[in-house]
Structure 1
Amino acid sequence: MSFGIFNIPVPTNEPVKEYRQGSPEREALKRALQDFRNQETDIPMYIGGQEVRTENKLKVSPPHDHQHILGYFYEGEAYHVEQAIDAALKAKQAWASMSWEHRAGIFLKAAELIAGPYRARINAATMLGQSKNAYQAEIDSACELIDFLRFNVHYADELYRQQPNSSPGVWNRQEYRPLEGFVFALTPFNFTAIAGNLPTSVAMMGNTVVWKPAYTQVLSAKVIMEVLQEAGLPDGVINLIYVDGPIVGEVIFNHPDFAGIHFTGSTAVFQKIWATIGNNIHKYKSYPRIVGETGGKDFVLVHESANVDEVATGLVRGAFEYQGQKCSAASRAYIPSNLWSQIEARVKGFLAELKIGGTEDFTNFINAVIDERAFKKITAYIDEAKQSKDVEVIAGGNYDGSKGYFIEPTVLRVSNPAYRTMCEEIFGPVLTVYVYEPTEFEEIIRLIDSTSPYALTGSIFAKDRYVIEHVAQKLQNAAGNFYINDKPTGAVVGQQPFGGARASGTNDKAGSAINLYRWVSARTIKETFVSPKHYSYPFLKAE
């Protein structure tokens, strides 16, 4: 066997294609959309490299056309979870022992496959299965997932190179072992890139994984597995299952080889998982790693010195791209009275121009929310707001679920800054505004910090640099990702590592080396070249 210290290709962010009329990427994407439309895709589970099907077939439909059937996936039972764990444990030794450069090569190849032959396919699956427009799908399922794969290889290489000092006659080394056991990846519907990153970042460090995606993301999850298989990922390293959450939890969180969870989802679910792990802590071989990114109630604070056009653009993009179904979406805004009328007019003008409809029509900016449950939850907030004396509907407020789960971008103005849409995560196209007097600015800062239990993202729009510095200091714990004169969404791998604290998660920063440290267990090795042969020390000699 040959050995060497290998240099990883320097990662760069994948360029975002624009999908202009007549462009080759637009034509390729349209063909991929039509291919998915014209067939019913078979979506099996993948356990130990085997495709697994059951008698319980569940349909997959576009949220914007819920009568159309894109395909079927197969829901498993408890014994499928057990099979997935067994497959992960069986694959563990060989995978953990594989030379690092060969593990890295698999994920670098996966990135190239997504950048090239799979780009249109994974974007089309995301557009249809999760109702993302072409641009939102491109920056998510193609570019961000490519970036996660490339940059995580780079960060892992940096991690492995960190070694302790050695003194004369001693060689100190540090190994970064994978965790002992298997890791559970529980992923959300809203970002294909997150669904791909949570299991692959763990596997990259030598761990084997049981992966359960959201049922509303299974179409693009299948494409991810296709990519990983073509890239050469060995059987059993990542096992993809579709099993109801409580059933999965009952098996996994009682298993002695459970070593950790990589999670993105709701705060309530994550807190329940944490409590379950705590109650079962005596059952595990080691203390499990618990890594989670959860909810947000993300703020935009506007100062009286801000630029009106910049604020209006940031609000519309930050609140309504992907129908507000981003953990980082702008959900509450605090706007000074001296700018409100101008910002209101500009936002209304933008919203009047936006088209709503299916993702196959590339002129539609707004598409459907993910499913009927989300539709009912979001519209209940809107209906209640319409009846409240504390709320004025500034824009939108209408919805129609007959063909697809369409909700107009809705802007609410509240007179009470503690009204529930200022405090609770809605996860839909609803922005709530509170207009304040400029003299109340300091109180508004305190209000932002105390209104919500979350601390994921937030932004400040201002020209006054003293104000920007002051707000950044006062709100240092209110947002894990803080934006200056920009919307609070759109974190880029390698540029803005993403995550928040408080009720928003463990802030382990996806897209950075911080996250990868959670998936290794270090072993320090001290080698003494000439060992002592007597117990005594010089100080013991008599005077």
Structure 2
Amino acid sequence: MSNAHFNIQEPVNEPYLQYAPGSAERKALKEVLKEQKAEQIEIPAIINGKEVKTDRKADVVMPHNHSHKLGTVYYCGEKEVKQAIEGALEARKEWAEMPWQDRVAIFLKAADIITGPKRFEMNAATMLGQSKTPHQSEIEAVGELADFFRFNAWYLKRLYEDQPHSPDGMWNRTEYRPLEGFVFAVTPFNFTAIAANLPSAPAMCGNVSLWKPSPESIYSSWYVMQVLKEAGLPDGVIQFLPGEGADVGDPAIDSKDLAGLHFTGSMGTFNHLWKKIGENVEKYKTYPRIVGETGGKDFIFAHNTADVDRLVIAAVRGAFEYQGQKCSAASRMYIPKSIWGDFKEKFVPEVNKIKVGDIEDFSNFMGAVISRKAFDKISGYIDYAKESDDAEIIAGGTYDDSEGYFVQPTVIVTSDPKFKSMEEEIFGPVLTIYVYKDKDFEKTLDLCDSTSPYALTGAIWARDRYALNQMADRLRQAAGNFYINDKPTAAVVNQQPFGGSRKSGTNDKAGSVANLLRWVSMRSMKETFAAPLDWTYPYLGEEK
């Protein structure tokens, strides 16, 4: 029994290590990279705390060296999913009743493990399995992941503190209950932090989660699961279920005990899952909460008063960090003709300086794209641009999959604002630029707003404050995360809560209290201290 009101201090964002030449952290990380690379591991499912191996398995390889095997993953199917659901519901009985401070203590401990003894292990796993540079890994697989755990604990405390007014004679209270059933977490390949947060945020609120990690990031997800076990997460609270698409998704969605879907991935997959939930709505015990972040066709829009030198750097980083495989990556750009010549003269040489290769060579700014499927899709867009009369490639345009899935940073200039690579999500290092006439500024703002079905991130650039206000107002619905004179990437927990609307998702803002609200069910409670002894009201009295 707890006889105290426990407090959590507001966290601070985890500082990032820089891995500069000669630094101790650079040396330590390289040693761990060698160790992990030299060992092949087995990645089974974890159901009720036990490792489960099936007869369906696949190799886990490095995207930048696809002949190098990191391990073997064992895939789940209907049998394992049903076993996981049964076990999770059993675990829920005790987990949902656990005092909140004991639940969050597990995740606070996990954050300290990630930023302490397992820091280089988490970084190395993300670098090898997802072909991230040390900087890209550090800011999310360590920094963002720890921030999710620490700030979510603080948000939950604040949520519980949000209580209603109580007039004299009564006590009004609000209870924040976990959902009845389980939450199905479907996670993406591109961020270790997001993959960990999707099952963990509901779990922190007292829910149980079925976690289907992406097969393309299963390596780092396995390391996350080991950290959670080390931190004391009880068996069955998060069931770890590697598998392919429908093999895991269909039995999870078909269960009458589905209480929520926490998703990050493609628009097509999210649409499919939403439809399946709709078809099954009659069978569910409760209406499932549906929270999803899908994709983006993120923009940079420049006014003719933009600072060109800074715009160049923002475009390089926004479009090509982590090979453009961020939901927030800049993939289309609108720039006025009056500054185009100056911008192009400075931008193209900077793009051409970018080195692409093995992430163990810390001089490389980009690694490989995640898979053969991604490589084929991205190279297809590049080939399309090469063959089109409406487009010109002014940087990059080459690719090579002989050793790893390498695509050079590519810049396309098009005369058609509705060109294919201006409209469709590519999810790779391809930036398409449309040069507009200065007099068509307002018309081009309308084009930017209407060209893509997505509305995730966007950036506007100008020195003129009137122009910035006009751009921000006109593009109000075009992006859920909006940047002024900055690149449209690198949202930080508790600073820029992340999410978009339209076809980019439900905009439930990971990295804020808003997301946790989706994983609780409120119960309003009124206690009256002296209930009335007479059922009549004064108005019933007779006139005298």
Tell me how far apart the structure 2 counterparts of residues 41 and 214 of structure 1 sit (CA, whole Å).
17
Post-superposition shift, 1:33? 0.5
| 2:541 is aligned with 1:541 | yes
Specify the code of the residue in structure 2 equivalent to 1:12. Answer: V
Tell me how far apart the structure 2 counterparts of residues 28 and 363 of structure 1 sit (CA, whole Å).
17
Alignment of 1:260-299 (within 5 A): 260-299=260-299
Specify the code of the residue in structure 2 equivalent to 1:357. Answer: G
Specify the code of the residue in structure 2 equivalent to 1:96. Answer: A
| 2:78 is aligned with 1:82 | no
Question: For residue 16 of structure 1, what is the aligned residue in structure 2?
Answer: 16
Specify the code of the residue in structure 2 equivalent to 1:15. Answer: P
Partner SS, residue 72 of structure 1: strand
Question: For residue 73 of structure 2, what is the aligned residue in structure 1?
Answer: 73
| 2:228 is aligned with 1:231 | no
Alignment of 1:162-311 (within 5 A): 162-311=162-311
Tell me how far apart the structure 2 counterparts of residues 28 and 234 of structure 1 sit (CA, whole Å).
31
Tell me how far apart the structure 1 counterparts of residues 10 and 515 of structure 2 sit (CA, whole Å).
19
Partner SS, residue 97 of structure 1: coil
Alignment of 1:33-48 (within 5 A): 33-48=33-48
Question: For residue 471 of structure 1, what is the aligned residue in structure 2?
Answer: 471
- Residue by residue over 1:359-393, the C-alpha shift from the partner in whole angstroms, topping out at 9 and shown as x without a partner, is 11010001100000000000001001100000001
| 2:322 is aligned with 1:319 | no
Specify the code of the residue in structure 1 equivalent to 2:124. Answer: A
Bigger Cα displacement from structure 2, 436-445 vs 53-62: 53-62
Tell me how far apart the structure 2 counterparts of residues 252 and 38 of structure 1 sit (CA, whole Å).
36
Post-superposition shift, 1:83? 1.0
- Percent of counterpart pairs with the same letter? 56
Given the superposition, is the C-alpha separation of residues 291 and 2 from structure 1 closer, same or farther in structure 2, using an over 3 Å criterion?
Answer: closer
Post-superposition shift, 1:42? 1.4
Tell me how far apart the structure 2 counterparts of residues 361 and 345 of structure 1 sit (CA, whole Å).
29
Specify the code of the residue in structure 1 equivalent to 2:250. Answer: E
Post-superposition shift, 1:322? 0.4
Alignment of 1:486-505 (within 5 A): 486-505=486-505
Specify the code of the residue in structure 1 equivalent to 2:381. Answer: Y
Tell me how far apart the structure 1 counterparts of residues 13 and 421 of structure 2 sit (CA, whole Å).
36
Tell me how far apart the structure 1 counterparts of residues 130 and 177 of structure 2 sit (CA, whole Å).
36
Tell me how far apart the structure 2 counterparts of residues 58 and 252 of structure 1 sit (CA, whole Å).
22
Partner SS, residue 61 of structure 1: strand
Specify the code of the residue in structure 1 equivalent to 2:366. Answer: I
Partner SS, residue 68 of structure 2: coil
Tell me how far apart the structure 2 counterparts of residues 22 and 171 of structure 1 sit (CA, whole Å).
62
Specify the code of the residue in structure 2 equivalent to 1:287. Answer: Y
Question: For residue 121 of structure 1, what is the aligned residue in structure 2?
Answer: 121
| Paired residues of 2:215 and 2:244 also in contact (CA < 8 A) | no
| 2:40 is aligned with 1:30 | no
Question: For residue 338 of structure 2, what is the aligned residue in structure 1?
Answer: 338
- Residue by residue over 1:82-115, the C-alpha shift from the partner in whole angstroms, topping out at 9 and shown as x without a partner, is 1111111010011111111111111100000000
Question: For residue 130 of structure 1, what is the aligned residue in structure 2?
Answer: 130
Question: For residue 382 of structure 1, what is the aligned residue in structure 2?
Answer: 382
Tell me how far apart the structure 1 counterparts of residues 140 and 66 of structure 2 sit (CA, whole Å).
23
Tell me how far apart the structure 1 counterparts of residues 412 and 104 of structure 2 sit (CA, whole Å).
48
- Residue by residue over 1:31-77, the C-alpha shift from the partner in whole angstroms, topping out at 9 and shown as x without a partner, is 11111111101111111111111122211111000001011111122
Specify the code of the residue in structure 2 equivalent to 1:512. Answer: S
Tell me how far apart the structure 1 counterparts of residues 239 and 281 of structure 2 sit (CA, whole Å).
24
Bigger Cα displacement from structure 2, 107-116 vs 53-62: 53-62
- Residue by residue over 1:229-258, the C-alpha shift from the partner in whole angstroms, topping out at 9 and shown as x without a partner, is 011000000000012211222211111110
Post-superposition shift, 1:16? 0.8
Tell me how far apart the structure 1 counterparts of residues 352 and 274 of structure 2 sit (CA, whole Å).
44
Post-superposition shift, 1:260? 0.4
Instruction: Flag structure 1 segments of 5+ consecutive residues without an equivalent.
Output: none
Partner SS, residue 80 of structure 1: helix
Tell me how far apart the structure 2 counterparts of residues 535 and 41 of structure 1 sit (CA, whole Å).
72
Specify the code of the residue in structure 1 equivalent to 2:27. Answer: E
Post-superposition shift, 1:9? 2.7
Tell me how far apart the structure 1 counterparts of residues 289 and 57 of structure 2 sit (CA, whole Å).
33
Tell me how far apart the structure 1 counterparts of residues 143 and 66 of structure 2 sit (CA, whole Å).
27
Post-superposition shift, 1:27? 1.3
- Residue by residue over 1:383-428, the C-alpha shift from the partner in whole angstroms, topping out at 9 and shown as x without a partner, is 0110000000110000000000000000000011101100000000
Tell me how far apart the structure 2 counterparts of residues 234 and 165 of structure 1 sit (CA, whole Å).
36
Specify the code of the residue in structure 1 equivalent to 2:382. Answer: I
Partner SS, residue 66 of structure 2: coil
| Paired residues of 2:352 and 2:395 also in contact (CA < 8 A) | no
Question: For residue 506 of structure 2, what is the aligned residue in structure 1?
Answer: 506
Partner SS, residue 335 of structure 1: strand
| 2:137 is aligned with 1:158 | no
Partner SS, residue 282 of structure 1: coil
Question: For residue 371 of structure 1, what is the aligned residue in structure 2?
Answer: 371
Specify the code of the residue in structure 1 equivalent to 2:525. Answer: I
Tell me how far apart the structure 2 counterparts of residues 343 and 281 of structure 1 sit (CA, whole Å).
53
Bigger Cα displacement from structure 2, 338-347 vs 158-167: 338-347
Tell me how far apart the structure 2 counterparts of residues 284 and 131 of structure 1 sit (CA, whole Å).
40
Tell me how far apart the structure 2 counterparts of residues 124 and 348 of structure 1 sit (CA, whole Å).
32
Question: For residue 458 of structure 2, what is the aligned residue in structure 1?
Answer: 458
Partner SS, residue 254 of structure 2: coil
TM-score under structure 2 length normalisation: 0.99
Aligned residues: 543
| Paired residues of 2:335 and 2:433 also in contact (CA < 8 A) | yes
- Residue by residue over 1:297-344, the C-alpha shift from the partner in whole angstroms, topping out at 9 and shown as x without a partner, is 001001100111111101110000000000000000001111111211
Post-superposition shift, 1:534? 2.7
Tell me how far apart the structure 2 counterparts of residues 43 and 364 of structure 1 sit (CA, whole Å).
29
Tell me how far apart the structure 2 counterparts of residues 201 and 415 of structure 1 sit (CA, whole Å).
45
Specify the code of the residue in structure 1 equivalent to 2:262. Answer: H
Alignment of 1:385-424 (within 5 A): 385-424=385-424
Tell me how far apart the structure 1 counterparts of residues 53 and 283 of structure 2 sit (CA, whole Å).
31
Partner SS, residue 69 of structure 2: coil
Tell me how far apart the structure 1 counterparts of residues 110 and 529 of structure 2 sit (CA, whole Å).
43
Tell me how far apart the structure 2 counterparts of residues 400 and 291 of structure 1 sit (CA, whole Å).
37
Bigger Cα displacement from structure 2, 443-452 vs 53-62: 53-62
Specify the code of the residue in structure 1 equivalent to 2:159. Answer: L
- Residue by residue over 1:159-208, the C-alpha shift from the partner in whole angstroms, topping out at 9 and shown as x without a partner, is 00000111111111110000000000000000000001111111000000
Instruction: Flag structure 2 segments of 5+ consecutive residues without an equivalent.
Output: none
Q: Deviating runs (4+, > 3 A) in structure 1?
A: none
Tell me how far apart the structure 2 counterparts of residues 2 and 504 of structure 1 sit (CA, whole Å).
43
| Paired residues of 2:456 and 2:501 also in contact (CA < 8 A) | yes
Specify the code of the residue in structure 1 equivalent to 2:83. Answer: Q
| Paired residues of 2:76 and 2:247 also in contact (CA < 8 A) | no
Tell me how far apart the structure 1 counterparts of residues 260 and 494 of structure 2 sit (CA, whole Å).
24
Question: For residue 6 of structure 2, what is the aligned residue in structure 1?
Answer: 6
Tell me how far apart the structure 2 counterparts of residues 342 and 438 of structure 1 sit (CA, whole Å).
15
Specify the code of the residue in structure 1 equivalent to 2:400. Answer: D
Post-superposition shift, 1:510? 0.3
Question: For residue 56 of structure 1, what is the aligned residue in structure 2?
Answer: 56
TM-score under structure 1 length normalisation: 0.99
Specify the code of the residue in structure 1 equivalent to 2:432. Answer: T
Post-superposition shift, 1:539? 1.4
